Structure 1
Amino acid sequence: MKRALPVLTVLIGIVVIWYAAAVWMNSTWVYDQAERAGTTVSFAEMVPQTMDQDRPLLPPPHQVGAELWKGLFGQAVTSKRSLVYHGFVTFKGTMMGFGLGIVTGVLLAMAIVRFRVMDMSVMPWAIISQTVPIVALAPMILVVSNQLGIEGREVPKAIIAAYLSFFPVLVSMVKGLRAPDQMQLDLLKTYGAGEGETFLKLRLPASMPYFFASLKVAVAAALVGTIVGELPTGAVEGLGARMLLGSQYGEPLITWAALFASAILAGMLILVVGLTERMIAQKMGVRT
């Protein structure tokens, strides 16, 4: 209970501020309607009218919760209105990009640790690559994919997701593979261990805590990349497409429900990464 109390306090504070902001922002419409009708509205009459508008500027928490519930449980999972359906589409793109990002990050990290020339040449460019706004890069990736004859929207989304997710894996793995000190490396050399054995028995186990810590960041980044990738590709499926639909048609409840659905999906993915970390750490005898 003591651990949950700070979290609950912050949550209650956010909800209170959210409701206050909803009253403030949505009151504009209430006063405007009253002015057009030639009537006046008191504060006590105004507050209830800000809580149940069809197209509020800022939907209050209970409206977002109702829309989220309807999208998750009020539709068949095969329905195009179902957030479960759209979430699964985004999930597939996220996993493709996440896997590609892991492979790219790990391979580059191994090359950087093994070859000094890779450290001097590749690492600076990897850092610079993260300064490019992904919103500007996404349409370019789409155009290049079309020019290469790559059909469909899954590959461009996966590339965008991998672009965001490989960097935390790369940086953490470089740090982890270099974690063993010189005394440990010299000790293995005295036992006649080669580079391969040193990597498998020392560097790789030492990098596991760094690796799994980076995966929690990388999987969230891959989800963000997938959602961003759904916006310029003209996708009609996925949580990103759902957010865009709500924005285009002036339906903020759809946008907010999709936003919270993506947050739930991110939380589930991070939870799975954490459980996987525990299982692998137990088998390898690694303390995380």
Structure 2
Amino acid sequence: MEREGFVRDRLLPIGAVVFALLVVWYVFVMLLNMPFERDSAARAGETAGFLELLPNTMVQERPVLPAPHQVVAELWDTTVNKAVTSKRSLVYHAWITLSATLLGFVMGAALGILLAIGIVHNRAMDRSLMPWVIASQTIPILAIAPMIIVVLNAVGISGLMPKALISTYLSFFPVVVGMVKGLRSPEQIQLDLMHTYNASPSQAFWKLRWPASMPYLFTSLKVAVAISLVGAIVGELPTGAVAGLGARLLAGSYYGQTVQIWSALFMAAGVAALLVAIVGLAHSAVLRRMGARP
């Protein structure tokens, strides 16, 4: 019964959505790639019908929109058939981007938690710092990323750190907002009870505010780790990097390799999904350790 419920409630809805997306994708592949095939046939002096040209739209070398099977084939070739140390391997490029992502995520999470603690416990920081934290996210990352890289290169800092700092800039904000909400989530009656027990501010923090903030923290971390990956990829674009998923996107755009671009995008999506899943597992483990019911 449980297996039947899982298939009915989970697999069938997901499968239906995936099937619908694939159908729409193939329809747009046909529509967007067909003009090239018609022009090619006209230049060759051939008169080919729609059904004759249709198969060619699915196997173009540089299509406007690659077909799903082309993206899957490219992913398989660049992850399984290539050595992980090869610069043509997506695993190699994903690791380069992942290194900056994790460093930026750790720094962003730590910065966000510290800022949230200060905002909750200091009214002056709450009134003065929180508006600036919010305003910082109104600056487009595509505009500020080149500035960060140029300034850091001027002082001799290059390589991993500039990309990590861009990831930090993006990832600290959801952690700040989530932790402020979490640290303020205990009700006043609970805070009064801690005061009745003559608990010190540090005891009230560690025994009440910090445990209460855990669901908010891990929810924020899921957002932060995904957006940290975006920051690492964006950080690779203005540098003309030769390694990383951003570099694969750049190379694909330079040479019109749309299949390479889409495979890099799907690889990035897979890495993001894996990171979010890991944070989710950590969330479940922490809640179980705190005695929460599954």
Following the alignment from structure 1 to structure 2, what is the Cα–Cα distance between the partners of residues 231 and 89? 13
Confirm or deny that 1:108 pairs with 2:108.
Answer: no
Equivalent residue in structure 2 for 1:267, among 273, 288, 292 = 273
- Contact kept in structure 2, 1:110 and 1:174, CA below 8 Å: yes
Confirm or deny that 1:36 pairs with 2:43.
Answer: yes
Task: Call closer, same or farther: CA 1:173–1:286 in 2, change over 3 Å.
Answer: farther
CA RMSD of aligned residues (A): 1.0
Secondary structure of 2:61's match? coil
Report 1:238-257 matches (<5 A): 238-257=244-263
Q: CA offsets per residue over residues 217-269 of structure 1, 9 Å max, x none?
A: 00000000000001011211101111111011111111111110001101110
Cα distance, 1:4 vs structure 2: 1.6
In the alignment, what sits opposite 1:127?
A: 134
Following the alignment from structure 1 to structure 2, what is the Cα–Cα distance between the partners of residues 287 and 89? 38
In the alignment, what sits opposite 1:15?
A: 22
Following the alignment from structure 1 to structure 2, what is the Cα–Cα distance between the partners of residues 69 and 121? 51
- Contact kept in structure 2, 1:153 and 1:235, CA below 8 Å: no
Report 1:127-206 matches (<5 A): 127-150=134-157, 152-206=158-212
Cα distance, 1:273 vs structure 2: 0.5
Following the alignment from structure 2 to structure 1, what is the Cα–Cα distance between the partners of residues 80 and 199? 57
Following the alignment from structure 1 to structure 2, what is the Cα–Cα distance between the partners of residues 122 and 276? 30
Following the alignment from structure 1 to structure 2, what is the Cα–Cα distance between the partners of residues 47 and 193? 74
In the alignment, what sits opposite 2:62?
A: 55
Following the alignment from structure 1 to structure 2, what is the Cα–Cα distance between the partners of residues 43 and 90? 43
State the AA in 1 paired with 2:96. V
- Which structure 2 segments of 5+ residues have no match? 1-6
> Mean alpha-carbon deviation: is it higher for 96-105 or for 37-46?
37-46
Following the alignment from structure 2 to structure 1, what is the Cα–Cα distance between the partners of residues 13 and 138? 35
Cα distance, 1:287 vs structure 2: 5.8
- Contact kept in structure 2, 1:109 and 1:174, CA below 8 Å: yes
The runs of at least 4 consecutive aligned structure 1 residues that moved more than 2 Å come to 284-288
Q: CA offsets per residue over residues 6-44 of structure 1, 9 Å max, x none?
A: 111111111000000001100011000011112222111
Following the alignment from structure 1 to structure 2, what is the Cα–Cα distance between the partners of residues 287 and 86? 40
- Which structure 1 segments of 5+ residues have no match? none
Task: Call closer, same or farther: CA 1:193–1:286 in 2, change over 3 Å.
Answer: farther
> Mean alpha-carbon deviation: is it higher for 234-243 or for 170-179?
234-243
Q: CA offsets per residue over residues 79-135 of structure 1, 9 Å max, x none?
A: 000000001111100000000100110000000000011011111111111111000
Following the alignment from structure 1 to structure 2, what is the Cα–Cα distance between the partners of residues 148 and 199? 40
In the alignment, what sits opposite 1:66?
A: 73
State the AA in 2 paired with 1:187. L
Following the alignment from structure 1 to structure 2, what is the Cα–Cα distance between the partners of residues 105 and 287? 28
In the alignment, what sits opposite 1:46?
A: 53
Cα distance, 1:147 vs structure 2: 2.1
- Contact kept in structure 2, 1:205 and 1:286, CA below 8 Å: no
Secondary structure of 1:74's match? coil
In the alignment, what sits opposite 1:80?
A: 87
In the alignment, what sits opposite 2:291?
A: 285
Confirm or deny that 1:230 pairs with 2:230.
Answer: no
Task: Call closer, same or farther: CA 1:72–1:29 in 2, change over 3 Å.
Answer: same
Cα distance, 1:285 vs structure 2: 2.4
State the AA in 1 paired with 2:206. L
State the AA in 2 paired with 1:202. L
In the alignment, what sits opposite 1:212?
A: 218
- Contact kept in structure 2, 1:209 and 1:287, CA below 8 Å: no
- Contact kept in structure 2, 1:112 and 1:122, CA below 8 Å: yes
Following the alignment from structure 1 to structure 2, what is the Cα–Cα distance between the partners of residues 285 and 149? 49
- Contact kept in structure 2, 1:216 and 1:273, CA below 8 Å: yes
TM-score (norm 1): 0.98
TM-score (norm 2): 0.96
In the alignment, what sits opposite 1:97?
A: 104
In the alignment, what sits opposite 2:227?
A: 221
Cα distance, 1:53 vs structure 2: 0.6
Cα distance, 1:286 vs structure 2: 4.3
Cα distance, 1:45 vs structure 2: 0.5
Following the alignment from structure 2 to structure 1, what is the Cα–Cα distance between the partners of residues 251 and 193? 61
Percent identical = 55
Following the alignment from structure 2 to structure 1, what is the Cα–Cα distance between the partners of residues 29 and 79? 24
